[in-house]
């Protein structure tokens, strides 16, 4: 598969530098649920930031604050609204509701 034609993604970033008005995916290495969501989103045009909670204590604290004290990932925010372990469809629906400007021209959204 040639990946050079896929849309560019927001780069990995920190909690502090993420675009909280857009989509932020909080993840950690080895998480199969994270891998699944990130893979499925790769084939959409949705732009998002990714934050590794094992490298960013502020991000881990945020995830715990919205996941009942747990570091449950993926946790995703859409325009600041948090979802814990959403499906691709739930995420895209949230984008349509809370950040519709992010879906313009999206073939999956």
- Residue whose structure tokens are 């949230």: 94
CA angle 27, 31, 32 (to 5 degrees): 120
Which range of residues forms the domain containing residue 36?
18-97
51 is a domain residue: yes
How many domains would you assign to the chain?
A: 1
78 is a domain residue: yes
pLDDT at 10: 54
Backbone angles phi, psi at 83, to 5 degrees: -135, 135
Burial of 106: CB neighbours in 10 Å, binned 0-12, 13-18, 19+:
middle
103 is a domain residue: no
- For 39-96, the pLDDT digits (tens) are 999 888 899 999 999 999 999 999 999 999 999 999 999 999 999 999 999 999 999 9
How many other C-beta atoms are found inside a 10 Å radius of the C-beta of residue 96? 14
- For 10-45, the pLDDT digits (tens) are 568 999 999 999 999 999 999 999 999 999 998 888
106 is a domain residue: no
| CATH code, domain carrying 69 | 3.40.30.10
60 is a domain residue: yes
81 is a domain residue: yes
57 is a domain residue: yes
pLDDT at 106: 47
């Amino acid at each position: 598969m040639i990946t050079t034609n896929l849309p560019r993604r927001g780069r990995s970033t920190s909690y502090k530098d993420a675009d909280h008005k857009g989509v932020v995916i909080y993840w950690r290495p080895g998480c199969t649920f994270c891998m699944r969501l990130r893979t499925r989103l790769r084939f959409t045009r949705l732009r998002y930031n990714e934050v590794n909670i094992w490298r960013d204590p502020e991000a881990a604290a945020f995830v715990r604050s919205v996941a009942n004290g747990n570091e449950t990932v993926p946790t995703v925010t859409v325009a600041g609204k948090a979802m814990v372990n959403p499906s691709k469809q739930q995420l895209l629906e949230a984008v349509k509701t809370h950040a519709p400007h992010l879906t313009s021209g999206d073939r999956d959204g």
